[in-house]
Structure 1
Amino acid sequence: MSFRGAARHTDVLVAGVGSAIDFAPAERLEARALEDSLSQKLHRRTLLQSIVAVAATTAFGCGEDEPALSPSDRSRAYFPQSVASGEPRPDSVVLWTRAVDPEHGGDTALTLDVSEEESFGTFVLQLAVSASATHDHAVKVKVTNLKPRTTYYYRFVYAHDGERFSSPVGRTRTAPAAGDDVPVRFVFASCQDYVGRYYNTWNRLLQLDEDLDFVMFLGDYVYETTGDPAFQSVNSLRGIRFSEPEGALVQKTGIFEYYAAASLSNYRDLYKIFRADPILQRVHERYPFIVVWDDHEFSDDCWGAHATYEDERSSELQVDRRRNAEQAFFEFIPIDATSTGAAQGAIDVGSEPRFPDTRIYRDFEFGKNLRLIVTDYRTYRPDHLIAEDAYPGTVVMDAPTLAALGAAPAFASDQFAYINVDAPEYAQVKGALRQVYVQLATQAGADNPQGKAETWVKGNLALAYVNPVLAQIGVAPIPTANQPRGMAYVHMGKVGLFDIRGSRYVVVKDTFDLYAQYRYATSGGASENVLGATQEAWFKERLTAQNAWKVIVSSVSLTPLVWDLRAKTDIPDATLRQRFTFNADGWDGFPTKRKELLQYVNANTQNALFISGDIHASYASVEEGVPALTAPAISSGAVKELASSAVVAAGYAEGSALYRYAIAELDPTLQAGNPNIVFSNSEDHGFVVLEVRPGEALASFHLIPSSEVNKDYSLRGESELRNRFIRQDLRVQNKKISTL
């Protein structure tokens, strides 16, 4: 979610944003592993470890043949992204690092140490592993046969020319056993853009030193662009620079030029730079993560392997790019995407399926009280219901259709009049409209403007769009009297070619929802088959689990965000006095399926709760009897400031009535448009701590103003950061949410 198109198509310049001055982190080392790992000076124990995994209980020490570990400042050079853990289950966890040595070539031989003691006085496991050059020297290891609800410490050790260098020590925790009646406490968070922004939110979590079972990251772990002025702020200290820019996609917005990751090298660079941040490293060293992707791990507002930068000026089916993005994700995220029953040892990233066979939806059991159901919103979903290149005048529901639905009386006014432009009497009109279309499409840089004109400018066309076009070229309007009535894309807010407005963002809610319902019925549900048939069947089966709470992870929010401007008579343009759906890239864009899914959850399980992110704001609501919590962004631009840029780009000044309701009073407007909203904060960053108990879940929103995101609080005193945060507590019970 970025609103990038709103600024792009009006050539709006974002104040204070210039070309990025990028840098590559000093920690980034180009690795060349040892030609022959056995040529190292290995002592007897190390040689044994290279053959088998040793479950050791002897005290760790340094014998005559075992060199001591070297200082951490030198060690960190070999482990520039530190360590991380993930996928906590009662008997297993996945451990990760990236190990590089520029003095050697090939793979990097390591030893993984796991202990219940931070001092590593005794070992639970010592295992020889290899950080493969094929996978950018990243390695993730599944460790099994662990005890439930137990804290473990781990490190990776690299032997270099007779010295042993240790990674930072990580701490992780396994899940409680299936029958354990214990509360489960975790953080959920999303959207951690790096460009021009600092991780003050993560720093606050470290300050709190919360006792957590895990961190649930809801998507947008990285952002694929190096400085898109529509939603990214840039400065000289926090930039992205690709080591192979020739592999990236060049993007332009007005006078700004930047890159979007495309090659495997590009996507790897993103993770290396993000994970070189010391604050993010410390969070990973402290807590195990469960991660799901949203769009920016591949491409903004994507669906399947389709990008949306060009807004359908040209085809953006990019299967290879999607697979590159997935490979980097699997290399750098401690996830086991192959099998929950996989054996102990290094996970073969090469065997983890890629698009279209990808599967990252999975579930986790945390004792008696929590079943965490992690869904994948992006991989299997269809295109947006309104295509970005949809011709505004195209009638999508004609008079007979509206009559059959019993909706004809609502469309009786002249604004819904249409003609069949293929009729002989409109031959000259059709020719003129196609000529205008070709001119506009050519100016927009579309592929094959003539072909697009032939595709779109035909059949039933709404006079609400046709007549203004004719007026611009000096042709008399076509009378609306005695014409049939129908609904076109223009009646859902689509007024421009190749535009996100009226397609992915700011659509007229009432007409859009009716159209969505019609498409759903006539396509057998395919138009909104968001999860895909296989995942949906899996999801419904998981709801039958006997755990006290079913917490369902969706990367995008289930809370409808509606601007209800129907009664705002001080807005002079009557066509704007309607209800608008703010973001149709999320679940608001699939309203029929969302309602069906929520009703199914409500009818078939107790104590269900959706948690989500993506929208860069905090919301709590009860939809169709199911509570839904939305986490704010860690660092990405708050939705209020992004929406402000979009509204101004559309031509509405900050002093206008529309701006006041849609932006200045955004939260009251959203709450009026959706009375189910219990809590709304559209302008702060933060995270949510959720504690799940047998009969309730307690949520704490920790929030910092968006104005603080470009300040590095790690250079300031702890109290200064602490004083910038506020907290909102909520109690979630079966089918209801209350503030505390």
Structure 2
Amino acid sequence: MPRVLDRRTVLKCLAAVAASTAFGCSDDDDEMPVVEDRTFYPQSVASGDPRPTSVVIWTRAIDPGNADADVPLTVQVALDDRFSQRVLDLKNVTVSSAHDHVLKVKVTGLSPRTTYFFRFLQERNGRLVSSPVGRTRTAPDASTDTPVRFVVANCQDYNGRYYNTWQRLLQLDEDLDCVVFLGDYIYETTPEATIPGTTRQVHFSEPDGALKLASSTGTVLAAASLSNYRDLYKTYRSDTFLQQVHERYPFVVTWDDHEFSDDCWDAHANYTDGRQDEAEPDRRRNSEQAFFEYIPLDPSDLPEGPVDIDAIPLYPDSRIWRSFDFGTRMRLIVTDYRSRRPDHLIPEDAWPAAVAVDAATLTALGVAGSFTSDTFAYVDISAPEYTAELGILRAAYVQLAVSEGLAQQDAETRAADAVKGPQALAFVNPILTQAGRAAISPTGKPRGIGFVHMGKTAIFSRLGSRYVVVKDTFDVYAAARDIATGGEAEDAYGAEQSAFVLSAAEGPPTWKVLISSVSPTTMVWDLSNKPDVEPATVRNRYYFDVDQWDGFPQERARLLGELRGRTQDRTVVVAGDIHAAFASVELGVPALTAPAISSSSVKEEAGSQVEAAGFPPSSAVYRYVVTEQDATLREGNPNIAFVDTDSHGFTVVEVQADVVRAAYHLIPSSEAHTSYADQPEALASHFTRKDFIIQGGGISMG
């Protein structure tokens, strides 16, 4: 407990203030002036994982005159911002280059629902050089019945973009228990060349340690080395507004994909869409080490004091799922969707003609009657009567694969493995016809679902595998894979984490808020009833993105059903990732998807995907799925109460006894390229607000 200041101590404080720019002193014997200097703490300070009696605090401390030197620090935590009521005064804590000069300290023995101030000090030339003063707050005690308020945020791309949303949150000066950050805190890629006209760009200090990726706008570097990932965090945390938010509120953070690699699963990247094996466990460990260095979290009930980062397990043993109780009102259940999940159900390198669901499986599922048309006919191309056709198809595969950059031998080996057995005539016959061979008649042939029927029209493609997938055929395929693998094909969390989530949901009768980095809201483009869409073959229902929960429909149903059953309509899923704002009810469970802080909106991304598929802005397809996307998504999923696919922002959530309130603060995504640092009044005028109430398993306007 802090000591009461006596008269002698008060006089010493007054003398120190009069003699310098000092702020705060204590009743001990050090009489050195205290001066704040951010150059010694270039990423400022932060705190995270607030519990009733503990919190983790963070800084990065350097010696500006010797970047490699170890830096001894004093860590102070107090009940006031002048540090006269200290509860922690930890001296001679050394930070070193081994962990990029970062320090995390778990502070324990604190009082529930209490605001604390913290700072870090370096002794320099007869004075104490202080970090900015951070403010944090502990969670309420388990027996306290009080509303809980937090902000939901995610996806803060830095390159060429400004954090106007963080600036707006600071303007509002919300009274919050924490900021819940849902992932994509960093983006692992940065242009190799400098972006013209902007200083908002990450530059790697060791570019040779990065991966080089080709793009339509030039070479992009993707972080691979530990140094690369550290550079990302250092640059992102140089932003003034992000620093100020960290200085003001504790964060509860999970990761999504970009902390490691876009659309990742386990330790696999997806940059080459199946052209190469992208299992990269060392790269994954590098990304996780930087994450644990720079994010103030308590992944496994750390002991008090300075955190030994070397003792935190990395892939494949890392664990960031955890839960937080905030009084009698709320339990946050934080999950990890990426580290244990299996691959996407449709392989990026799937040969479109390959039959994924055969006639016998369709019959077993009871849906064979829905797939009787000639479109779904297939043959066993390995049968002796199709020897010539088999040769043509394999030659076509090799030609396509070589044109995509594969070596001849590799292409031939893959062709032999992929082009065999059941093959869908919907893809086979156009190739045969182009080669001058007669098409194979579908009459009398079995019916099944090939990858082509799910939208896969090219090898080595994200279209038809991770994005723009035909819903009705994919759902059947997903169900078949789920049965065939005993659920393993969709086991996003893994057995240990799943057991943890369901156990946490069974606790006291509080609101259970599931923190999911990816959205459970179904995003469907329904073009099946659009006569102006050409060609007619694309008049289908499509999932836009099966990297999120739409890609694991059986597991989503099981998870939401279990949560609802355990919580009696007191479950809310809070999600991000998709760069859009949604409020929806999925399988009886309300879901709030927060928009991105700054990353390109889903409308922008959909535009690029649709054009890549060959539909220009003048087409009906483009109009429905880009220009009129919000309306199309509502039509495709009537459970959506609100959608905005072209705004940035954040969501303020307040958990009350019987209702949850959500306020979406939104700004057009086009404003991300403009800095409002010097025009805050103009920034405020660009924001709008949408309010909603969650009660009894439903969502209504607030």
**TM-score, normalization by structure 2:** 0.95
Q: 1 CA distance for matches of 2:358 and 2:550?
A: 24
The answer on 1:554 being equivalent to 2:519 is no
Pairing partner for 2:147 from 183, 190, 195: 183
Call closer, same or farther: CA 1:233–1:386 in 2, change over 3 Å: farther
Q: 2 CA distance for matches of 1:568 and 1:167?
A: 60
**Do the aligned partners of 1:195 and 1:234 also contact (CA within 8 Å) in 2?**
no
Q: 1:167-566, aligned counterparts within 5 Å?
A: 167-227=131-191, 235-254=197-216, 256-337=218-299, 339-340=300-301, 342-446=302-406, 448-566=410-528
Q: 2 CA distance for matches of 1:64 and 1:173?
A: 29
Call closer, same or farther: CA 1:102–1:207 in 2, change over 3 Å: closer
Give CA-to-partner distance per residue, 1:306-351, whole Å, 9 cap, x none.
00001110100000000000000000000112x32x3320111111
Pairing partner for 2:32 from 21, 44, 67: 67
Letter aligned with residue 446 of structure 1: L
Give CA-to-partner distance per residue, 1:462-488, whole Å, 9 cap, x none.
010011112222222111112111111
**Do the aligned partners of 1:56 and 1:124 also contact (CA within 8 Å) in 2?**
no
The answer on 1:165 being equivalent to 2:129 is yes
Q: 2 CA distance for matches of 1:698 and 1:277?
A: 30
**Do the aligned partners of 1:78 and 1:100 also contact (CA within 8 Å) in 2?**
yes
Call closer, same or farther: CA 1:417–1:545 in 2, change over 3 Å: same
Structure 1 counterpart SS, 2:191: coil
Give CA-to-partner distance per residue, 1:521-541, whole Å, 9 cap, x none.
110000000110010011100
Q: 1 CA distance for matches of 2:30 and 2:288?
A: 43
Letter aligned with residue 373 of structure 1: I
Q: 1 CA distance for matches of 2:694 and 2:365?
A: 38
* 1:734 Cα deviation from its structure 2 partner: 2.5
The answer for the alignment partner of 1:101 in structure 2 is 63
Structure 1 counterpart SS, 2:141: coil
**Do the aligned partners of 1:640 and 1:682 also contact (CA within 8 Å) in 2?**
yes
* 1:218 Cα deviation from its structure 2 partner: 0.3
The answer for the alignment partner of 2:650 in structure 1 is 687
* 1:686 Cα deviation from its structure 2 partner: 0.3
Call closer, same or farther: CA 1:57–1:156 in 2, change over 3 Å: farther
Pairing partner for 2:105 from 133, 137, 141: 141
**Do the aligned partners of 1:80 and 1:98 also contact (CA within 8 Å) in 2?**
yes
Cα root mean square deviation, aligned: 1.6
* 1:122 Cα deviation from its structure 2 partner: 2.3
Structure 1 counterpart SS, 2:599: coil
Q: 1 CA distance for matches of 2:403 and 2:137?
A: 57
Q: 2 CA distance for matches of 1:627 and 1:159?
A: 52
The answer for the alignment partner of 1:708 in structure 2 is 671
**Do the aligned partners of 1:264 and 1:325 also contact (CA within 8 Å) in 2?**
yes
**Do the aligned partners of 1:201 and 1:687 also contact (CA within 8 Å) in 2?**
yes
Structure 2 counterpart SS, 1:453: helix
* 1:650 Cα deviation from its structure 2 partner: 1.6
Greater displacement, 275-284 / 437-446: 437-446
Greater displacement, 143-152 / 343-352: 343-352
Q: 2 CA distance for matches of 1:233 and 1:645?
A: 20
Call closer, same or farther: CA 1:444–1:549 in 2, change over 3 Å: same
* 1:272 Cα deviation from its structure 2 partner: 0.2
Greater RCO, CA 8 A, separation 6+: 1
The answer for the alignment partner of 1:696 in structure 2 is 659
**Do the aligned partners of 1:301 and 1:585 also contact (CA within 8 Å) in 2?**
yes
The answer for the alignment partner of 1:34 in structure 2 is none
Q: 2 CA distance for matches of 1:318 and 1:283?
A: 33
Q: 1 CA distance for matches of 2:203 and 2:696?
A: 48
Q: 2 CA distance for matches of 1:686 and 1:423?
A: 57
**Do the aligned partners of 1:608 and 1:734 also contact (CA within 8 Å) in 2?**
no
Letter aligned with residue 339 of structure 2: T
**TM-score, normalization by structure 1:** 0.90
* 1:102 Cα deviation from its structure 2 partner: 4.0
Call closer, same or farther: CA 1:550–1:228 in 2, change over 3 Å: farther
The answer for the alignment partner of 1:92 in structure 2 is 54
Q: 1:604-623, aligned counterparts within 5 Å?
A: 604-606=566-568, 607-623=570-586
* 1:653 Cα deviation from its structure 2 partner: 1.5
Greater displacement, 114-123 / 471-480: 471-480
**Do the aligned partners of 2:2 and 2:85 also contact (CA within 8 Å) in 1?**
no
Q: 2 CA distance for matches of 1:406 and 1:547?
A: 40
**Do the aligned partners of 2:207 and 2:228 also contact (CA within 8 Å) in 1?**
yes
Letter aligned with residue 506 of structure 2: T
**Do the aligned partners of 2:63 and 2:69 also contact (CA within 8 Å) in 1?**
no
Give CA-to-partner distance per residue, 1:554-605, whole Å, 9 cap, x none.
0000100001111101112121111101100000000111011111112221
Call closer, same or farther: CA 1:435–1:56 in 2, change over 3 Å: farther
Letter aligned with residue 198 of structure 1: Y
Q: 1 CA distance for matches of 2:608 and 2:587?
A: 32
Q: 2 CA distance for matches of 1:134 and 1:590?
A: 40
Structure 2 counterpart SS, 1:620: strand
Structure 2 counterpart SS, 1:687: strand
* 1:546 Cα deviation from its structure 2 partner: 0.8
